[in-house]
Amino acid sequence: MDDLYRELILDHYQHPHNHGELEDADISFEDSNPLCGDKIRFEIKLKDNVVQEVRFNGKGCAISQASASMLSDELIGKSLDEIRKMNKQFILDMLGIPLGPTRIKCALLPLKVVKAAAYGLNASPDEEDEE
């Protein structure tokens, strides 16, 4: 089963969904993981506090980019309240493979960015908020 998830991650890395920029985004946020150089920016368009469109861009390892791509698919149709309730386990289940401590930070960076955007923060949330 791990092989299936690894192929899915590789496919999202090579052919990311919702990649690019969004004109007139209602909310956006960007952050990076200085330990490995990952950088992600999400831009979201809302209607009645529900995600209508989402785009992300950035650079980084396969795990961070695949996590961003997969998360972008999950966000469409979700309310800001639903996004605020997403947690570390949601991302790990979505990726479907075991990750070491370093790779967990890569996988969680997109969630950290999206939650910061959903909360309207001007600075990164603490990593403890992601758990």
CATH number at residue 103: 3.90.1010.10
**pLDDT of amino acid 1:** 59
| Residue 79 maps to a domain | yes
| Residue 128 maps to a domain | no
**pLDDT of amino acid 4:** 73
From the list 38, 27, 47, 97, the residue with the least C-alpha distance to 68 is: 38
**pLDDT of amino acid 122:** 56
| Residue 62 maps to a domain | yes
| Residue 7 maps to a domain | yes
**pLDDT of amino acid 131:** 45
**pLDDT of amino acid 34:** 87
The distance from CA 113 to its chain's CA centroid, rounded to whole angstroms, is: 7
| Residue 129 maps to a domain | no
| Residue 99 maps to a domain | yes
Domain coverage including residue 21? 2-122
Query: Rounded to whole angstroms, what are the CA distances from 28 to 8, 41, 103?
Result: 26, 7, 24
| Residue 130 maps to a domain | no
Other C-beta atoms lying within 10 Å of the C-beta of residue 69: 21
Q: How many domains does the chain have?
A: 1
Name the residue with tokens 């605020």.
84
> Averaged in consecutive runs of 10 residues, what is the pLDDT profile of the chain (131 residues)?
79 96 94 92 96 96 95 97 96 92 93 94 51 45
**pLDDT of amino acid 106:** 94
Cβ 110 vs Cβ 12: under 8 Å? no
**pLDDT of amino acid 129:** 46
| Residue 127 maps to a domain | no
